[in-house]
Structure 1
Amino acid sequence: MSEFIPGQRWISDGEAELGLGTILNVDFRSVTVLFAASQETRTYSVRQAPLTRVVFGSGDRIDAADGWQLIVDDTKEIDGLIVYIGETDDGELRELSEAQIADSMQFNQARDRLLTGQVDRNDWFDLRFRTLHHFHRIEQNPALGLAGPKIDLIPHQLYIADEVSRRHAPRVLLADEVGLGKTIEAGLILHRLLLTGRAQRALILVPDSLTHQWLVELLRRFGLEVTLLDEQQSQAYGDANPFEAGQLVLASQQWLFANPHRQSQADDSHWDMLIVDEAHHLDWSPEGSGPGYACVERLAHATPGLLLLTATPEQMGVESHFARLRLLDPDRYHDLAAFKAEEAGYIEVATAIDALDSLPGESAAFTAVERVIDDSDSQALLETLVDAESGEAQRDAARRQLREQLLDRHGTGRVMFRNSRRHVAGFPERRLHTASLELPSAYRRLLRKLGRDEDALDELLIETGLDHPDVLLYLDTTYRALSDDPLNAEPWWQIDPRVTWLLELLTDAGRDKVLVIAHDRETATDLAEALRVLGGMHAPVFHEGMSLVERDRAAADFSDEEEGSQVMVCSEIGSEGRNFQFCRHLVMFDLPQHPDQLEQRIGRLDRIGQRHAIEIHVPVFADSPGERLLRWYQEGMDAFSAPHGVGSDLYDAFGDALADALLDPESLDAIIAETRALFETRLAERDAGRNRLLELNACRHERAETVASAIRELDTDKALPRYLDQAFDIFGIDSQDLGGDMNHLRAGPHMLDGLPGLAKGEEGFTATTSRSRALTRDDVQHLSWEHPLVREIVGRILDGAMGNTALALLNHPAIPAGRLMVELVFRTYCPAPSRLHVNRFLPPTAIRVLLDESGANLSDKVSFTGLAKNLKKVKKAVARDLIKSRHDQLRELLTQGEGEADRELPTIIETAQQRMRDELDGELTRLQALARHNPAVRDDEIQALRDERQALDTAIEGTRLRLDAVRVIVTVDNETRR
């Protein structure tokens, strides 16, 4: 390798798309290269730098940085830099140092490899051309980034992922109800942003109990490998910043929020996207914020993109909800009082949207709509809708456009997405089964004493150290706390009839899985022991005192269909985040006090895709506080039938009174009646106000179906299996057909190194191109154009030299032997920062030119496929001799081919620019109109779109062609072939 000297020009062998690089500095260990056209810098080891020196020869044309061109005649070297000598287009004799070459210049590898006799196999050349063709097609598919993940095509998830991932630096709150797939939505958004180059680094903060679940989900569903950081892992990096260890970093909120030093390191790292799960736990009030909120606030301020996830955005009241919005856009949400006043106006907007379906015809509906519109465009649509001369199609179009305008321009719909089960199909029935059991004597004595003596409760709270009303609702916990009492000598589970009831339930359930949730960690642990001692059953336990590995092991044991445990016992932590939808029996061994916790428990099983009715089993003691709490849930708010989203309001209003009524059944009826009245009022308000707007905006079904249709098009792409067969054969991947459209892939003896999931000597993996089959088995990967293995294969072909030269023989009766043809594949080259995702408008585009030795262009007369199937291979030594003998002729044909291809480039550029302008100008006009009505449209979002449009226009205008591959074809007769 030549000595590296600052100013020299080199290209990257593995990342040719970076363009022409300039050596910035070099020492005895490393060399740093600036790729100015793509705004990237790389540092390589001097000994193993994957770089090729750019050297032009006589007759080559070079672009100077200041705009002129030089045709090379001779060279000299000054201080390690090449100086090219030649003429300009005006005939002027000039010199050009390599340091002054335009950054957009490229080293044309195919040309130089061919002319030096380096040729590859014909099937490599064929694969390269087909790869370029498929890549061009896939990159423009509107479902790019959403088609690869292993998910069901659920409309609201696809709509949210598509809408959010199209935005510049999206900042949104994903607030779908429990079980509707917020994690999938976040994964889809992240996957698309990474795949399209609009994001490169992301920090994901989740509750400690969910770190491994996120780790597995991101890998299994989205093929994303993340770095899981904890204190032990961080210490392994010594003084280095552990947050720089990977592109995608997953960390526990509890760990990070409690560690100022690690927070500082996270702050010092650059992130494109921050994802925070269970965001309702972040503590904020107008008077101050907790350490978790403060940490996220600092990171959110410095990070362009932000996704907050919570199923209960208002669980802790409107202040808590406002706090989340404040993180997304502190300029927009800076005044809590103003926010409350603004929300009061959403009822009118929701009423107007519903009134659109009554037009034309009802004057009241017209008035309701007219009251909320304040611009000429909307007024014109309203007039079209009520005009007697409008046709039905015109009215439908006007109604649809007016509905979308009202949704866009009002409320928090741009920053918050919330779907409810009322508007999403696919959820199972819930069936409540209650069992009234007799109080054991120890529990009865306790409750009788509390009922007789007004001071007994205070004494009990002091004696046990428990809170009210826990001491009444969780009698086993109270019993344990009074273990010094000689009457409480036996373990609680030996005297509690709920244990016997549970054993009978497990017997009746047969092979069905049963999830048991109890409020207290010790209750869960003791209950598992009781099942072992009394029933001979192994029940894994899941609680907050266990390590993450222990929890994952317990969950895996429970989920194993063949040999796993029938039952798992969880503490309350089991109702947060974990997905147990393979199970349909839920036992609430006791009841949580808060309605949201009740819903979270049910939501572990009741998720979209659950195939069975949810059987909810609740044992209560007759005439006990637990039975009264059950009545409040059933009669006051229908809590077990479906999620309603108003439980927090009801608990805030009646939680204290309910706690007092647990020992005063006479007052309970009044509380239940008042709860029911407020419940129905809140539902009516929800349907009329902001929540109604959110639900209307959270899934626009036409858009969702467009995305789903594009995904299905890729799913059924018949070209993919054919392409994979050829690629696997060439890359040395063994593929064993298992039947049912499934194949087992493993590394063959000659496989190229570094392919994802296929390390040599390991078992490999099973995959299928069928989405439905992949979804039925966790151990089967979904093989698509976006799968990491396929992306790696495509990337290696397009970014490297594999197959960019070839020589073949053609036996054709109509063509005399010894004739020469050259098949040239040119490729558009548009250097631009990855964040622009220029490929959506101008992906690498192939221009094929087929010339005979006289220079006649045969491209339109002879197809690639028709020619390729008639070609025969030739030994490399013979190929080199043939090229050497036709060297001058080949140079002439290569130059002529460039001219033929250049004539097609302006049309390609013009088409791409028009496509870009049509899309971005329309979006810019829409955002500017929205900004006049909806302050949730950020000024920086509009300016970013303007800047993006300008940068794309400049980049596309600068598109050039490069010779990507060349095949020399020599005609022979049968005698010659022999």
Structure 2
Amino acid sequence: MSDFSPGQRWISDGEAELGLGTILNCDNRSVTVLFGASQETRTYSSRQAPLTRVVFGSGDRIQSTDGWHLIVDDSKEANGLITYIGENEQGELCELPEAKLADTMQFDQARDRLLTGQVDRNDWFDLRFRTLHHHHRVEQNPALGLAGPRVDLIPHQLYIADEVARRPSPRVLLADEVGLGKTIEAGLILHRLLLTGRAERALILVPASLTHQWLVELLRRFSLEVTLLDEQQSLAHGDANPFEAGQLILASQDWLFADPHRQAQAEACDWDLLIVDEAHHLEWSEERVGPGYACVERLAGSVPGILLLTATPEQMGQESHFTRLRLLDPDRYHSLADFQEEERHYIEVAEAIDALERLPGQEEDRQRVAAVIHEADSQALLDTLASSESDAAQRDAARDQLRDQLLDRHGTGRVMFRNSRRHVGGFPERRLHVDHLEPPAAYRRVLRRLSRDEDYLDELLIESGLDHPEVLVYLDTMYRALANDPLNAEPWWQIDPRVTWLLERLTELGDDKVLVIAHDRETAIGLSEGLRVLGGMHAPVFHEGLSLVERDRAAAAFADEEEGCQVLVCSEIGSEGRNFQFCHHLVMFDLPLHPDQLEQRIGRLDRIGQRHPIEMHVPVFTDSPGERLLRWYRDGMDAFSAPHGLGSDIYAAFGDALADALLDEEALEEVIDETRSFFESRLAERDAGRNRLLELNACRHERAEAVISSIHELDTDRALRRYIDQALDIFGVDSQDLGGDIQLLQPSPQMLDGLPGLVKGEEGFSATFSRERALARDDVQHLSWEHPLTREMMARILEGSMGNTALALLKHPSIPGGRLMAELVFRTHCPAPKRLHLNRFLPPTAVRVLLDESGANLTDKISFSGLSKNLNKVKKAVARDLIKSRHDQLRELLDRAETEAERELPSIVEAAQDRMRTALDAELARLEALARRNPSVREDELTALRDERATLDAAIEGTRLRLDAVRVIVTVDEDSR
């Protein structure tokens, strides 16, 4: 019966929830099984397939695909397939081929094990029941998927993760300012989608310099193991598609975007989610579409979920920003002109929201709100708010609802989330320290000639091969480019006073960490060499010419608190993506030409969690283009004091004029004045319009606080510690108290194989139940209901047979010896596709039934805990003999218990349907109302939600009970041994 044949019925040992499977095809190497009830297909090795053949015996009740039932009397086999013979409900003799068995049939594995004398330990049975109970609670918690990651509970991050991850196919732009945690938001979204089954495969594309940082962050914070794919790894897979090597693939954008063949392989895979970091680097214009943009656009056409991450969504201009939104929803964002017109309308909406706070007040405030609402429900809320008969509570409720509706129904808030530092708050002060230095003779000679001879700039550009204005601002680069000049014989770092200035600053700062950023790679390399030669200081260098391993080694040497180096020298690449918030001294050896790059630099240190003021040290040469550039930044747009997100607009408006004014003091003052006026005007315009709407919509604090409250509920759950301690003991994991609420988990010689982070012969890992301690110690893991170890132990129990049978002895003075009791645990079974996340409405639900030997129901009279603590174990040989002697009686009790349990099912199903309809009907009504006013609600999103509701309704209606576990209890006299 172990040979596979098409049409045979098997079940998965590890994924029992898939239901009854059908063999589709098989050969000597593999076997493919279709699980029709859950719409899943699996392919296994023929030799090691984790499958069990389904064979029914006399007396078993089976169901056909057409819904009728048959009581098995006999069976026959032909060509490896079984045909069952018996009577249907009408008493007619019928045959039912196994291929016609219903996919949703249940299997009483516990019944079969018990009646054949297979019993487990009593503590295993206890753990199984408690696992069902806790799993039922946790799966319905609103914070599921957000509580496990090792992150601070920051409201705006949790709000975005909760809002985005609850969507069937999220397609959003995460555009928080630098340092507000976009990577954490993306990780939270990914973690929840994976945990709830809404996603199984994800492709993560990041700049090459950030691949290892993402790899470490996903593992350390979210316990997600990803496959890092590059060309070397791809070649190792031969002709196979390397993107099929794992469920979560992390790849370098630089590598993928440069290789059409690898792009085709990535596009050939089925992905549930695409994450693209630093999305502002995707180049698009009407004249040219960059390879990166083209690749992401093709992937976006087939991947249902997309997260684009960028701290500077409009860095390349409004048109480029529009094209990124177009990747998310090409139907919604098809016209740039329409988009620009819509943005102009946001000021009216923002003013209406401000007017809400003043109502009931002036009539003009009511008119301002009325002008932007068009729905009857919104008008009714406005009437309530403006009415003199409404009390304070009614007005507050109406104001909150109307505010939410305006935010929902206007703007890009559903597809773009952008929090600013001023909106989030709690960021450190920024302090600018400028030191004026005299330029060396070689630099001064060039600057003087430029000031006297207007034509010399053209000669310099030709001679050096550099661009304007780089040749003016980066004097060391200019010096190196003119290396043929006999006056430029010495290395630039030997003649540049900024190097000795930096050595002096490093000495003054003592042990404080210092990040140094320079525009050019050659400058960074030379500066590192200068610090070594002139000051005997080891300064690792971080630039784009290094391999990923070399970059990570440099960053790690800088980050090490005890033995690490004091300073890290970076080229401009060091100002993107990397997190250096453990440092608060930033030396800008030179200044970038684009305001957004300046903010990127500062943002490496100025992040959430930074506890010190940001000390920015900038050396400039007196009366030089670099000094004038600093004045433009400082006086024209307050670029050093706080981020404002207007850098792209300002540079587009004044970049050319600035370049021309770097050699003209009078022209510079005019550019600074014009820049300041433009900056203040755009700042006011932005704050009045779209950005204000985005900020209001990017974190709704009541929702965020509700999520945080739910996480606290899971974090402080007293049952968690008791459950994990019991599970660790049963699974064979030793726990040693290290003090400070930290314990060392180590595998014992008896440990069951395959537990995450625990390998026999290795030392294990340290863990704590405290989120605060886990955040303070990178080497300590955070134990939670979502930790991989907890999830794995619960899955082993729920999906396997561990503890589903037991036999125990009960000594009680009021109960005569020799009596029989049966404690049965039934579990709801409702096969449905994982993507529906059915468990939020109907997680596996336990129905306990306790019967005495006469069939009387004692469930309400004797609790599970009260009974368990009075039971005694019995040897397995004795247990088998007892079961054998009571075989017929046990069959009757099992049948009786099923009838008792079925009485509980209708109320369970009704409650689940009520929960589902309450949640989805309200969300569907909200989205339908939004769609009438806000085109950012996609039609396919509405269709998916309607289909989800219908499928869930049918699945819940089809819920059945199956016997999950059974314990036989035999009473013994008090004096028996």
Matched, 1:168 2:168: yes
Instruction: Work out the CA distance in 2 between the residues paired with 1:822 and 1:58.
Output: 23
1:611-650 matches, cutoff 5 A: 611-650=611-650
**Are 1:43 and 2:43 an aligned pair?**
yes
Q: Which amino acid aligns with 1:534?
A: L
- The answer to whether the aligner puts 1:10 opposite 2:10 as a matched pair is yes
Q: Is contact 1:9-1:20 (8 Å) kept?
A: yes
Give the 5 Å matches for 1:78-97. 78-97=78-97
* Structure 2 residue 535 is the aligned partner of structure 1 residue 522: no
Q: Distance between the aligned counterparts of 1:177 and 1:211, measured in 2? A: 21
Partner of 1:801: 801
Deviation at 1:497, TM superposition (A): 1.4
**How far apart, CA to CA, are the structure 2 residues paired with 1:782 and 1:486?**
63
Contact 1:150 1:774 in 2 (8 A): yes
Distance 1:238 1:49 in 2: 25
Alignment of 1:7-156 (within 5 A): 7-156=7-156
User: Once the 2 structures are TM-superposed, how far is the Cα of residue 708 of structure 1 from its aligned partner?
Assistant: 0.6
Contact 1:426–1:609 under 8 Å retained in 2: no
1:107 Cα shift? 2.1
Q: What code does the residue aligned with 1:657 have?
A: A
How far off its partner does 1:21 sit? 1.1
Per-residue CA distance 1:734-767 (angstroms, 9 max, x = gap) = 2221111111122211211111111222222111
Deviation at 1:787, TM superposition (A): 1.0
Q: How does 1:469-548 map to 2 (within 5 A)?
A: 469-548=469-548
Bigger mean CA deviation after superposition, 452-461 or 884-893: 452-461
- When normalised by structure 1's length, the TM-score is 0.99
SS in 2 for 1:722: helix
Moved more, 316-325 or 762-771: 762-771
- Equivalent position of 2:605 in the other structure: 605
CA distance in 2, matches of 1:896, 1:378: 56
Residue in 2 aligned with 1:676? 676
Contact 2:139 2:840 in 1 (8 A): yes
Match of 2:753 in 1: 753
2:731 maps to 1:731? yes
Counterpart-to-counterpart distance in 2, 1:235 and 1:470: 41
TM-score normalized with structure 2 length: 0.99
Q: Distance in 2 between matches of 1:426 and 1:822?
A: 60
User: Are the counterparts in 2 of residues 428 and 611 from structure 1 also a CA contact under 8 Å?
Assistant: yes
The answer as to whether partners of 1:11 and 1:107 remain within 8 angstroms in 2 is no
Equivalent residue runs for 1:189-268 within 5 Å? 189-268=189-268
Deviation of 1:793 after TM superposition, in Å, equals 0.8
The 5 A counterparts of 1:382-421 are 382-421=382-421
* Corresponding residue for residue 786 of structure 1: 786
Instruction: Give the conservation status (yes or no) of the 8 Å contact 1:25–1:31.
Output: yes
Letter in 2 for 1:262: R
Q: Is the 8 A contact 1:830 1:959 kept in 2?
A: yes
The AA in structure 2 aligned to 1:142 is P
Q: Secondary structure at the match of 1:976?
A: coil
Shift of 1:97: 1.8
Distance 1:67 1:104 in 2: 10
* d(CA) in 2 for partners of 1:330, 1:777: 44
Residue 884 of structure 1: aligned partner: 884
Structure 1 residue 781: Cα displacement = 1.3
Q: Is contact 1:10–1:52 with CA below 8 Å preserved after alignment?
A: yes
Secondary structure of 2:301's match?
helix
State the distance in 1 between where 2:463 and 2:418 align: 45
**Cα distance in 2 for residues equivalent to 1:293 and 1:287:** 13
Alignment partner, residue 816 of structure 1: 816
- Deviation of 1:976 (Å): 2.5
Q: Distance in 1 between matches of 2:630 and 2:814?
A: 90
2: CA distance, partners of 1:938 / 1:288 = 28
Displacement of 1:76: 2.5
CA distance in 2, matches of 1:74, 1:653: 87
Q: Is the 8 A contact 2:813 2:974 kept in 1?
A: no
In the alignment, the residues of structure 1 paired with residue 27 and residue 575 of structure 2 have an alpha-carbon distance, to the nearest angstrom, of: 56
Q: Deviations over 1:768-796 (max 9, x none)?
A: 11111111121211111111111111111
SS at match of 1:345: helix
Q: Name the aligned partner's letter for residue 859 of structure 1.
A: T
- Residue 692 of structure 1 corresponds to 692
Could you say what secondary structure the match of 2:975 adopts?
Answer: helix
1:650 to partner: Cα distance? 1.0
> Where does residue 908 of structure 1 map in the other structure?
908
- Output the CA distance in 1 between the equivalents of 2:290 and 2:76: 67
The whole-number CA distance in structure 1 between the counterparts of 2:702 and 2:576 is 33
C-alpha deviation, 1:287, in angstroms? 3.6
User: CA offsets, 1:57-77, max 9 Å, x none?
Assistant: 222211111111112222232
Give 1:467's aligned residue. Answer: 467
Secondary structure of the structure 1 residue equivalent to 2:970 = strand
1:831 maps to which residue? 831
Contact persistence 1:243–1:266 (CA under 8 A)? yes
Secondary structure of 2:31 counterpart: strand
Partner of 2:961: 961
Q: 1:288 to 1:501 in 2, by over 3 A?
A: closer
- 1:426-450 Cα offsets, whole Å, 9 max, x none, are 2111111111111112211110011
Give me the whole-angstrom Cα distance separating, in 2, the residues matched to 1:893 and 1:191.
Answer: 44
Instruction: For residues 698-743 of structure 1, give each alpha carbon's deviation from its aligned partner in whole angstroms, at most 9, with x where no partner exists.
Output: 1000000000100011011111111111111111112221111111
Distance 2:192 2:202 in 1: 13
User: What is the Cα deviation at residue 147 of structure 1?
Assistant: 0.6
Query: In 1, distance between residues paired with 2:314 and 2:735?
Result: 51
| Separation of aligned partners in 2, 1:163 and 1:344 | 26
SS in structure 1 of the partner of residue 347 of structure 2: helix
Deviation at 1:323, TM superposition (A): 0.5
Is it true that 1:709 corresponds to 2:738 in the alignment? Answer: no
Aligned pairs (5 A) from 1:543-582 = 543-582=543-582
Shift, 1:153, TM fit: 0.6
TM alignment of 1:274-313, pairs within 5 A:
274-313=274-313
Contact 1:346 1:690 in 2 (8 A): yes
Q: In the aligned structure 2, how far is the partner of 1:169 from the partner of 1:678?
A: 40
Name the aligned partner's letter for residue 720 of structure 2: L
Q: Deviation string for 1:253-308 (max 9, x for gaps)?
A: 11111100001111111111111111111111234411111110000001111111
Identity of aligned residues (%): 80
CA contact (8 A) 2:18 2:40 kept: yes
SS at match of 1:810: strand
Q: What is the aligned partner in structure 1 of residue 448 from structure 2? A: 448
Task: Give the letter for the 1:207 counterpart.
Answer: P
Displacement of 1:32 in angstroms is 1.7
Distance 1:43 1:34 in 2: 9
Distance 2:364 2:117 in 1: 82
Q: Which amino acid aligns with 2:170?
A: P
Native 8 Å contact 2:812 2:974 kept in 1:
no
d(CA) in 1 for partners of 2:333, 2:823: 61
Distance in 1 separating the partners of 2:82 and 2:292: 57
Q: Tell me, yes or no, if the aligned pair for 2:38 and 2:831 is still in contact at 8 Å.
A: yes
- Structure-2 residue corresponding to 1:896: 896
TM-fit CA distance, 1:544: 0.2
Aligned letter for 1:16? A
Unaligned 5+ segments in structure 1 are none
Q: Does 1:855 align with 2:869?
A: no
Q: Given residue 289 of structure 1, which amino acid in structure 2 is its aligned partner?
A: V
Q: Is the 2:443–2:479 Cα contact (8 Å) retained in structure 1?
A: yes
Displacement of 1:528: 1.0
Unaligned runs of 5+ in 2: none
Q: Within 2, Cα distance between the matches of 1:641 and 1:175? A: 20
Aligned to 2:586: 586
Distance 2:606 2:470 in 1: 27
Cα distance in 2, alignment partners of residues 482 and 766 from structure 1: 57
Bigger mean CA deviation after superposition, 90-99 or 294-303? 90-99
